[in-house]
Amino acid sequence: MSEDPLPGYTGVVRKVLSKAGVSVGDKVRIVTSDGRVFVGVLMPRYSIKPKPIIVLKLDNGYNVGIRIDEGTVVELVKTREAILREAAAGAPAVIPLLEEKPAKKPQERIMVVGTGGTIASKIEYETGAVKPALTAEDLVEAVPEIAMIARIEADVLMNILSENMKPKYWVKIVDAIARHIDEGYDGIIVAHGTDTMTYTASAIAFAFRGLPVPIAFVGSQRSSDRPSSDAAFNLIAATLYAAKSDYAEVAIVMHGETGDTYALANRAVKTRKMHTSRRDAFQPINDRPLMRIYPFEKRLEPLQPPLHRRGEQELRVENGFEEKVALVKYYPGMDGEIIDFLVDRGYKGIILEGTGLGHVGEWLVEPIRRAVDNGVVVVMTSQTLFGRINMNVYNTGRKLLAAGVIPGDDMLPEVAFVKLSWILAHTSSLDEAKRLMRTNLAGEINPRLTVDLYPRWLQ
Amino acid sequence: MIERKANPKSINPRELGLKVGLEIHQQLNTKHKLFCNCPTILAREGEVEDTFTRQLRPTRSEFGEVDVAALFEWRKGRMYYYHAPRSHSCLVEADEEPPHEINREAIVIGLAVAKALGSRPVDEIYVMRKIVIDGSNTTGFQRTAIIALGGAIKLPSGKKVGIETIAVEEDAARKMKDEGKYTHYNIDRLGVPLIEISTSPDIETPEEAYEAALTIGQLLRLTGRVKRGIGTIRQDLNVSIRGGVKTEIKGVQRLDLLPKIVLYEALRQHRLLQIRDELRRRGLTEDELRNAARIVDVTSVFKNTQSKIIKRVISRGGKVLAVKLRKFHGLLGVEVQPGRRFGTELADYARFWGGVGGLFHSDELPGYGITSEELREVYKLTGAIEGEDAVVIVADKELNARKALEAVVERAVQALYGVPKETRAAQDDGTTRYMRPQPGAARMYPETDVPPVEVTKDMLAEAERIKPMHPLEKIKQLTEKYGLSSDLANQLLRSPYLGLFEELAAKYSDKVPATYIASLLTNILRSLQREGVPTGNLTEEHFEGIINAVANNIISKDAVPDAIKYLAKNPGASIEDAVRDLGLERMSLDEVERLVEEAIEYNIKAVKERGIAALSKVMGYVMPKVRGRIDGKIVAEIAKRKIIEILEERRRGDK
């Protein structure tokens, strides 16, 4: 495969550069039409908008953009190959650092399943592009601490952006994890982009009907190409959870607060990304964290008991997810045709994200009744996220119940969506589907909501 | 053999081939920070703040390189404790939200400065990340962007100094203190826009370095768009001499110290070259030095030592290690700068790389409780020859002591080649100390979260409008508008108080003459500084308080120097405190009249005999009693009037 020597360059710029016979990575000298002279390494241009501008990296490391026209003179000063050769030859001698004594080789075997995201990555110095670390060696090289906790192996299953995740990929991930557990790994880490992490982690939680080892989902809110990245911290915490805890549960392991003090392992099916950018974006809703993890001290502090302990259950997997399930958020004035459309398109399940205790505009009662009559499972969850559905308090709620809507208890809308997708792939009985929706399968329903389970902004 | 003392007077920097480049960093007075909407003013003590702790990890470049200094800070397990005042920082400074687009106002000010310097703007501005892993940036990097290249300044001597680059960048967090493994920072300053002007290494004397810094500072202040006051401008230096190496010196806060730092660095490099020549004369090679430099455990020598430091280390389970430096005898005691010996340089390396407290070397021993018998034992165990080799001893935890001595050996090896490539920190006495190795180009990579900004015609036109005035034009304006002498105007222009002067003159010149305000901010301040008054502590609020008190007749001009001294020594105090504590309230005229009458009474004979010529006697009686609480001019007027009255009375009485 021949790579484009001039990525990102089009039009006049490309013409001028091609004529000069230069490619990205070469050192070039540019004389603009107005007589300005620039010398630097030609960089690729990563910009959505095409402009007649070329990007040079100057000797001092800075990039600058220079406008180009037909009159611009471009000369090759040194080829990329020559630059790299010189850099390798002239590498400065540095004072060698004494390595710390290697610890006793750890026993636990951990498999890191890669699905995407930049939990571990390398920066390409020349372009600034971030490339994912693809092997266990890369991972350990980037975060050497994890090798002191467990024997790390890696399986890069896919490399997709979190927002591009689909239920059919959940199936692949479930298969891979099942295989690795069967191979005898003591814990599984799934590296995943954070945007849809709750969905995937919940899918795994529902698919493993018997789970003998811990599974930690981990990601980063600051990409690993920067010194302040949370990736290493989270990965160490996830390794501790997977290797050292006896909680055979699917957990999301991420920062517990904005600082680098502790991480939290939160039950996947009760956890939600509650912030666009903070490190501690993942918070349990209607639930407490499973445990606090101190990565520097390599210490785990349980905060509530697990559903199952390590080794209690045999491995049992029921893989598969129904794709004809929709998650619909109610808004004032919402048109009933939206429900009708889903029914007519053959959808088998609808999760409604209603208001308050579980309401939608009363004009939707009829379309919903029609959906239920057509065999569609309709479940009510709440936009408030905190608290439980109760459709007995107000009239509209009672009408919706009468129409056949299933109250979703205190389940998160996203989790209810994944749960229904999984249920509908494994039963054709509507009654069974309804029963399972109201059954606590993986800790997604908390039967007791206590006073403390709610954030307050002023203490 | 080399002279032991380093004498700055013994060298002529120009003849040594001195070359200096400056990097001037100046805070811009923009409405918002460079990448968020926080204000650009610092928090006051005790404001509501949140705190959090973080760690920073070095990142790798494609060549597998990491910044050694970065790696080291991380290995040391350093943690950063951030204080985030709510009114002066947000999630962006906390590194919990991506940066917003770059502040256009800052870019326009930068372009205006570029125009005044004859620099050529780039066409598209790219924000870069410069790895800085000392915790002063929560991200672990500083965001910085070149906006223009080239240009020059002209010194008063007529010499031209080239400008290499003009960059706009974010200021770092304010370091508060070190406490165990935590370094505390306040992030209120983080993200305040800075302009960085880097000159070419055209500067050839310490005095030129001073003039160049002054000229650039003056030009920046003339934009009227930069921050004023202590800490808003900082200078870094790149210094080399012929045969030496470009050395970075960071953190020069006081401009008047700059020539001394340059001179001392020239001296240091000169002395290191002399040490190199001496080592070569002694026939030392790198192989010989390295092969002989075996690190030996000499703890047993110090079983019954009188050295308190060593005793304490051993009692805590530490070790005493030593290493031989072949043919270095006498050279560790040689000064490279006044008060800094080559051994001090080795100690800096030991501290940085080994995290140890310090070291002992044979050129200062016996001493520090180490006896000549112990020293002789160490010589024996390390295989060193007395009078020929040097030995270095470190007492600490074994691993640290070993790392420290390895660094000492590496530094000693570099002595064979002259001046090592270092980043050094300026100290208050004009000397510098080793800070870290110079970072490579690998520390710079693109900030992908901030889109590049095209420099448009609109921006350039805006920059043209705020382009700083030429200094001569400004002097003309000051003399015409405020009636300042051209000398006073020139002094103001060179001082950091031009902007403050214009503000105070606009506000108070109907009550306090502008010339007085100008000389307060120049002459008066300078003479107080010469007296040793810590004028650096004075804030703009202090000056305004003083002028305001003069304008409202609360204090007299004669009381101003005392008030300044008081405020400089008590920076937390206000002018009201000064007035109260010093008893500076302006004296009432009645009181003055009474005092004058008393004085005349006391000197009645002289007054009667010599008439108005006795004024000096009367004044001599009154003035010590008013102690600046009223202007002498007023006292003199009253005294004159009273004397005349008495004389006239007498004349009438005589009739």
**Residues whose CB is less than 8 angstroms from the CB of residue B275 and which lie 6 or more positions away in sequence, other chains included:** B2, B331, B334, B336, B342, B415
Please tell me if residue B138 touches chain A, with a CB cutoff of 8 Å. Answer: yes
**Pairing mode of beta strands A377-382, A349-354:** parallel
For residues B275 and B266, is the Cβ–Cβ distance under 8 A? no
Give the nearest partner residue to B128 out of A63, A98, A226, using CB atoms.
A63
Closest Cα to residue A356, out of A328, A403, A396, A325? A396
Please tell me if residue B130 touches chain A, with a CB cutoff of 8 Å. Answer: yes
Q: Does the beta-carbon distance from A95 to B68 stay under 8 Å? A: yes
Mean pLDDT score of chain A, rounded to an integer?
90
Give tens-digit pLDDT for B429-441.
999 999 888 776 6
Count CB-CB contacts under 10 A for residue A141.
15
Give the nearest partner residue to B123 out of A53, A224, A232, using CB atoms.
A53
What pLDDT is stored for residue B96 in this prediction? Answer: 97
Number of helical H runs and strand E runs in chain A: 12, 23
What pLDDT is stored for residue B465 in this prediction? Answer: 93
Count CB-CB contacts under 10 A for residue B181.
12
What pLDDT is stored for residue A25 in this prediction? Answer: 87
Give the nearest partner residue to A226 out of B52, B59, B126, using CB atoms.
B59
Q: Does the beta-carbon distance from B445 to A279 stay under 8 Å? A: no
**Are residues A130 and A270 located together in one domain of the fold?**
yes
The residue behind tokens 């003056």 is B218
DSSP run (H or E) holding A385: none
What pLDDT is stored for residue A136 in this prediction? Answer: 73
CATH code, A377: 3.40.50.40
**Are residues A310 and A170 located together in one domain of the fold?**
yes
From chain B, pick out residues whose CB is under 8 angstroms from the CB of A233: 55
Min distance A95 CA to chain B CA atoms (Å): 7
Give the nearest partner residue to A94 out of B58, B68, B146, using CB atoms.
B68
d(CA B594, CA B599): 9
Full domain range(s) for residue A349: 325-437
Mean pLDDT, consecutive 10-residue stretches, chain A (459 aa), reads 76 89 91 90 80 89 90 91 70 41 77 82 56 70 86 89 93 98 97 95 98 96 87 95 97 97 98 97 97 95 97 96 98 97 98 97 97 97 98 96 97 98 96 96 97 87
Residue A421 corresponds to which tokens in the numbers above? 């997708």
From chain B, pick out residues whose CB is under 8 angstroms from the CB of A227: 56-59, 70, 131, 133, 139-141
What pLDDT is stored for residue B326 in this prediction? Answer: 96
For residues A449 and A388, is the Cβ–Cβ distance under 8 A? yes
> For the purposes of burial, counting CB atoms within 10 Å of the CB of A55, is it exposed (0-12), middle (13-18) or buried (19 or more)?
buried
> Collapsing DSSP states into helix, strand and coil, what is residue B427?
coil
What pLDDT is stored for residue A128 in this prediction? Answer: 53
What pLDDT is stored for residue A132 in this prediction? Answer: 64
What pLDDT is stored for residue B609 in this prediction? Answer: 84
**Are residues A24 and A127 located together in one domain of the fold?**
no
Count CB-CB contacts under 10 A for residue B468.
22
Min distance A129 CA to chain B CA atoms (Å): 9
Please tell me if residue A61 touches chain B, with a CB cutoff of 8 Å. Answer: yes
d(CA B654, CA B648): 10
Whether A234 is in a domain gets the answer yes
Report ipTM (2 d.p.): 0.91
DSSP run (H or E) holding B446: strand B444-446
**Are residues A288 and A369 located together in one domain of the fold?**
no
d(CA B277, CA B254): 35
**Pairing mode of beta strands B453-454, A316-317:** unpaired
CATH code, A79: 2.30.30.520
For residues A228 and B140, is the Cβ–Cβ distance under 8 A? yes
Residues in chain A: 459
Give the count of Cβ contacts less than 8 A between chain A and B: 147
Half-sphere exposure of residue A388: CA atoms within 13 angstroms, side-chain side: 14
**Are residues A294 and A337 located together in one domain of the fold?**
no
What pLDDT is stored for residue B442 in this prediction? Answer: 59
Q: Does the beta-carbon distance from B167 to A62 stay under 8 Å? A: yes
Q: Does the beta-carbon distance from B122 to A65 stay under 8 Å? A: yes
Whether A458 is in a domain gets the answer no
Whether A24 is in a domain gets the answer yes
Strands (E), A68-165: 73-78, 109-114, 121-123, 130-132, 151-156
* Residue spans per domain, chain B: 19-240, 279-419, 469-582, 589-654
Within its chain, how far is the Cα of B486 from the centroid? 30
Min distance A98 CA to chain B CA atoms (Å): 7
Q: Does the beta-carbon distance from A277 to B97 stay under 8 Å? A: yes
Q: Does the beta-carbon distance from A97 to B98 stay under 8 Å? A: no
Whether the upstream peptide bond of residue B420 has omega within 30° of 0, thus cis, is no
> Collapsing DSSP states into helix, strand and coil, what is residue A450?
coil
Residue B118 corresponds to which tokens in the numbers above? 């004859």
**Are residues A133 and A173 located together in one domain of the fold?**
yes
Q: Nearest-CA residue of chain A relative to B454?
A: A65
**Are residues A162 and A306 located together in one domain of the fold?**
yes
From chain A, pick out residues whose CB is under 8 angstroms from the CB of B56: 227-228
> For the purposes of burial, counting CB atoms within 10 Å of the CB of A452, is it exposed (0-12), middle (13-18) or buried (19 or more)?
exposed
Whether A253 is in a domain gets the answer yes
Backbone angles phi, psi at B249, to 5 degrees: -120, 125
Q: Nearest-CA residue of chain A relative to B409?
A: A95
Closest Cα to residue A61, out of B416, B433, B61? B61
Residues of A (87-126) whose Cβ lies below 8 Å from B: 87-88, 91-92, 94-98, 122-126
Crossing angle of helices B560-569 and B575-582, rounded to 10°: 110
What pLDDT is stored for residue B385 in this prediction? Answer: 94
Closest Cα to residue B264, out of B252, B276, B281? B252
Query: What is each CA distance from B244 to B5, B6, B23, B271, B423, in whole angstroms?
Result: 20, 17, 20, 10, 14
Q: Does the beta-carbon distance from A227 to B444 stay under 8 Å? A: no
Whether A455 is in a domain gets the answer no
Min distance B442 CA to chain A CA atoms (Å): 7
Please tell me if residue A281 touches chain B, with a CB cutoff of 8 Å. Answer: no
Please tell me if residue B119 touches chain A, with a CB cutoff of 8 Å. Answer: no
For residues A405 and A372, is the Cβ–Cβ distance under 8 A? yes
**Pairing mode of beta strands A215-218, A187-191:** parallel
Q: How many domains does chain A have?
A: 3
**Are residues A295 and A427 located together in one domain of the fold?**
no
- Of A299, A317, A335, which residue sits at a domain end? A317
Domain B279-419 fold: Gyrase A; domain 2 (3.30.1360)
**CA–CA–CA angle A162, A168, A172 (5° rounding):** 85
From chain B, pick out residues whose CB is under 8 angstroms from the CB of A128: 445-446, 448
Q: Does the beta-carbon distance from A123 to B61 stay under 8 Å? A: yes
Q: What is the DSSP letter of B53?
A: E
Q: Max Cα separation, chain A? A: 80
Q: What are the residue numbers of the active site of A?
A: 118, 194-195, 273
Q: What is the DSSP letter of B123?
A: S
d(CA B74, CA B140): 11
**Are residues A135 and A239 located together in one domain of the fold?**
yes
Low-confidence ranges of chain B (pLDDT < 70): 59-73, 75-76, 440-442, 653-655
Please tell me if residue A12 touches chain B, with a CB cutoff of 8 Å. Answer: no
**Are residues A113 and A223 located together in one domain of the fold?**
yes
Give tens-digit pLDDT for A178-203.
999 999 999 999 999 999 999 999 99
Whether A332 is in a domain gets the answer yes
d(CA A257, CA A272): 15
Please tell me if residue B454 touches chain A, with a CB cutoff of 8 Å. Answer: yes
Residues of B (10-69) whose Cβ lies below 8 Å from A: 52-63, 65, 68
Instruction: Indicate the pTM of the whole model.
Output: 0.86
Whether A386 is in a domain gets the answer yes
**Are residues A292 and A310 located together in one domain of the fold?**
yes
Residues of A (348-377) whose Cβ lies below 8 Å from B: none
d(CA A108, CA A186): 6
**Are residues A396 and A260 located together in one domain of the fold?**
no
Q: Which amino acid is at B52?
A: F
Q: Nearest-CA residue of chain B relative to A297?
A: B77
DSSP run (H or E) holding A423: helix A413-426
> For the purposes of burial, counting CB atoms within 10 Å of the CB of B349, is it exposed (0-12), middle (13-18) or buried (19 or more)?
buried
Whether A263 is in a domain gets the answer yes
d(CA A251, CA A337): 38
Report DSSP letters for B169-220, one per residue. Answer: EEPPPEEEEEETTEEEEETTSTT-EEEEEEE-TTB-SHHHHHHHHHHHHHHH
Residue B350 corresponds to which tokens in the numbers above? 């030991």
DSSP run (H or E) holding B251: strand B247-252
Best mutation target among A49, A101, A228 (most B Cβ atoms within 10 Å) is A228
Give the nearest partner residue to A97 out of B71, B97, B454, using CB atoms.
B71
What pLDDT is stored for residue B57 in this prediction? Answer: 84
**CA–CA–CA angle B516, B522, B525 (5° rounding):** 100
Min distance A410 CA to chain B CA atoms (Å): 29
What pLDDT is stored for residue B476 in this prediction? Answer: 92
DSSP run (H or E) holding A427: none
d(CA A122, CA A126): 12
